[in-house]
Amino acid sequence: MPRSFILVLVALGISAGVAAAQIPVILSTDVGNEIDDQWAVLYLLTNPQFRVLGMVSAHAPTLPDPSAHYTYRVLVDEVENHMGLQAHPPLFEGSSLPLADVHTPRGNAGVDFIVGASRGFSSDHRLDVLTIGAATDVASAILEDPAVTERIRVVAMGFNRWPDGGDEFNVANDPRAWQVILDSRVPVAIGCGDVCRAYLALTPDQAKHLVASHGPLGAWLWEEYQDWYYRNVKPMRQDDFSKPWIVWDIITAAYVEGLATGESKPRPRLRDDMVFEHPATSDNITWVTSVDSKRLWSDFVDRLDEFTRTHAVH
C-alpha cells in the first residue's frame, strides 16, 4: 500500500477517534513471545474506552522466528481468527532487528505509521504509544522525526525496579532504543517488573477462576496460560502449582485507563549495561507504583463478556 494512502487512512481514523472522545493509542507488541501480550491486546480491543489506531509488531529473540514478520503473523491470527474481527485496526510489521546505534532509525511501515498517526496530535493532546516489546520502532520514530516527541507519550512495560533500571526482557531486546527514548524529551510512563510481580501475578487457580468461564476468548486465554505454565513455569509437572505467572504487559493499558498510579521521578540515563544513571535534571518521567488489580480484572472480564455478547466469537 502506498505510504500516502496509509497516511490518508491514518488521518481519517484520528479525526474519528478525537471526535469520539476515546483514548487514542497505538500498541507496539511482541505478541507470541509470552502469554501476557494476548491479554493486553484483548483488553485494548474489547474496551470501548480505547480507540486503537493501529498495532505494530516487534522483534523478540526467544521466538521460533525472532523477526517482526513472525510476530505480525501471530498478531493477525489473534485478532482475525480468535477475536473474529473482520474490521480491525491496521496491523503493521515493525523492525526485525534492534537499533545498530543511537543515531540511525530502522525504517519500516510501523515506524511510518507511528510518525504519521502522531501528526494529528500535539503537546496538549498526546497520542499514547504503548510499548510491550522491544522499543525499536518507537525509538526509530523519534530518530526519524524528532518532533514526534511533542505529539506522543510512551507508556511501557520495562526495567526491573527503581532506581536501578535493569535488564528486563523488553529492554534487553534493544537497550539502544531505550537510550534514545530516555535521552529525548518524550513523556514516558514505565511499569516495571517489580510492580507487575506485586499486582499482576496469577496462580493457575486464580487465572482459571478469572477467565476460563468467560466465553470462547476467556477459555482461549486460560488454555494459553496453561500451556505456557506447563512449558515454562512447571516443566517437571510436579504437584505444587502455587507459583504464579505474571500478566506483565497489561500494566500499560491499566495506567492509561487510570487503574494504576505513578510517581514523578527525575529522568534517568541508561548505561550500556542497562543500569540507570541519575544526572541532575529538571526533566521527569512517571514510574508506575501500583495497580488497582481488583478493578482491572473485574473490568477485564466484563469487557470479555460484553464482546462475546455482541460479536460472533468461536
**pLDDT per residue over 10-32, tens digit each?**
444 444 434 447 999 999 999 98
- The residue type at 216: P
Angle between helices 3-19 and 109-118 (to 10 degrees): 40
Instruction: Give me the mean pLDDT over the 97-123 stretch.
Output: 98
| pLDDT above 70 (res 104) | yes
**Among all chains, which residue has been given the C-alpha cell 495506567?**
255
| β-sheet bridge partners, residue 277 | 269
Instruction: Give me the mean pLDDT over the 261-282 stretch.
Output: 98
The whole-number pLDDT of residue 5 equals 35
State the cell numbers at 258. 487510570
Domains and CATH numbers, the chain: 3-199+248-288 (3.90.245.10), 201-233 (no CATH)
Backbone angles phi, psi at 112, to 5 degrees: -60, -40
> How far is it, in rounded angstroms, from Cα 47 to Cα 300?
8
Chain Cα centroid distance, residue 283: 24
**pLDDT per residue over 222-248, tens digit each?**
999 999 898 888 766 567 788 899 999
**Among all chains, which residue has been given the C-alpha cell 533500571?**
165
The whole-number pLDDT of residue 61 equals 87
| pLDDT above 90 (res 4) | no
Three state DSSP letters for the chain: CCHHHHHHHHHHHHHHHHHCCCEEEEEEECCCCCCHHHHHHHHHHHCCCEEEEEEEECCCCCCCCCCHHHHHHHHHHHHHHHCCCCCCCCEEECCCCCCCCCCCCCCCHHHHHHHHHHCCCECCECEEEEEECCCHHHHHHHHHCHHHHHCEEEEEECCCECCCECCCHHHHCCHHHHHHHHHCCCCEEEECHHHHHHHCEECHHHHHHHHCCCHHHHHHHHHHHHHHHHHHHCCCCCCCCCCCEECCCHHHHHHHHCCEEEEEEECCEECCCCEEECCCCCCEEEEEEEECHHHHHHHHHHHHHHHHHHCCCC
Q: Tell me how crowded residue 160 is: count the other CB atoms within 10 A of its CB.
A: 16
The whole-number pLDDT of residue 312 equals 78
The whole-number pLDDT of residue 46 equals 95
Query: Angle 211-200-276 (CA atoms, 0-180°, nearest 5)?
Result: 150
Instruction: Give me the mean pLDDT over the 266-274 stretch.
Output: 98
> How far is it, in rounded angstroms, from Cα 164 to Cα 235?
31
The whole-number pLDDT of residue 314 equals 65
| pLDDT above 60 (res 131) | yes
**pLDDT per residue over 141-190, tens digit each?**
999 999 999 999 999 999 999 999 999 999 999 999 999 999 999 999 99
| Backbone Cα Rg of the chain | 18
State the cell numbers at 215. 466465553
> How far is it, in rounded angstroms, from Cα 204 to Cα 185?
41
| β-sheet bridge partners, residue 131 | 28, 156
